[in-house]
Amino acid sequence: MAIGRARALFDRAVVWPVSNRTTLVRMASAVRQKNNDRLHATLDEEVPYDLRTEMVRLLAVPENQRVSELERLRLGPMQVSDRIMELALDRAL
């Protein structure tokens, strides 16, 4: 009789997540959000104010420019001339 009860318990344990999928998704999402919030709070406490201010400044897009300073630094000092672009296209074809 104990095997029958164990089997019924197992069957219910398998059926419940399938029939309550949206509940599980919401629960997982809530746990993920809580962990992200805790991580951000920890990082916010550890980063000095001056560094935080400088990081925010790097994200701002200056007037009359297309990209932020951070993006400009990420791309590096590369400027492609018309001739270099033409040679690259010839190689690609």
Q: Where are the alpha helices (DSSP H) in the chain?
A: 2-19, 21-46, 49-59, 69-75, 82-92
Tell me the C-alpha distance between 84 and 72, whole Å: 20
Say what angle helices 21-46 and 2-19 make with each other, to 10 degrees. 70
pLDDT, tens digit (0-9, with 9 covering 90-100), for 68-86: 999 988 887 677 788 888 8
pLDDT, tens digit (0-9, with 9 covering 90-100), for 13-72: 888 877 877 788 888 999 999 999 999 999 889 999 999 899 999 999 999 999 999 998
